[in-house]
Amino acid sequence: MPATLASHIPEDALLIDTHEYVMVDDTRVRIGISHYAAEALGDIVYVDLPAIEDKLDKGDSFGAVESVKAASDLYMPITGEVVAINTRLEEEPELVNDDCYGDGWMIEVDIANDEELKTLLTPQAYADLIENRD
């Protein structure tokens, strides 16, 4: 399972154990939920996101996703300031299911502390963690 799970994750993604990812672009990161989480939730019908300029600490809740199966809080993988939100998710929350690492991203954040990136999981480490939970 780890190879299959890891194969759904872009090589440049970093993740946390609550299934959020970051994709780094210089001093900015794009955050969303993993393919594994999107599949586990089922059809996503609503995404609640923070406001631009919200300052959030690592571990803070930054919103929630609701699906036909459940609602789930979203947690910050790093500390930073929200500089963009994916407004397409207001009308098309299913983008999270269809393309979580692409069009289904949730927020962009300016990184406050680059050192926090070192605490995140590689795609293979995340896949190993998930397999050991199942």
pLDDT at 51 over 60: yes
- What is residue 4's predicted lDDT score, i.e. its pLDDT? 64
- pLDDT value at 1 more than 50: no
d(C-alpha 86, C-alpha 66), whole Å: 16
| CA distance from start to end of the chain | 10
Residue 2: what pLDDT? Answer: 40
Question: What pLDDT is stored for residue 131 in this prediction?
Answer: 86
Asked if residue 95 lies in contact with residue 89, where contact means CB atoms within 8 angstroms, the answer is: yes
Does residue 74 register a pLDDT over 60? yes
Dihedral sign (CA 90, 50, 30, 127): negative
Query: Which tens digit of pLDDT belongs to each residue from 75-132?
Result: 999 999 999 999 999 999 999 999 999 999 999 999 999 999 999 999 999 999 998 8
* CATH number of the domain where residue 43 is located: 2.40.50.100
pLDDT tier, 66 (very low <50, low <70, confident <90, very high otherwise): very high
Which 3 state secondary structure label does DSSP give 36? helix
Looking at the 3D structure of the chain, how many domains does it have? 1
Q: Which domain holds residue 23?
A: 2-133
Average pLDDT over residues 31-51: 96
Rounded CA separation 114/116 (Å): 5
pTM attached to this predicted model: 0.92
Residue 128 has a pLDDT of 92
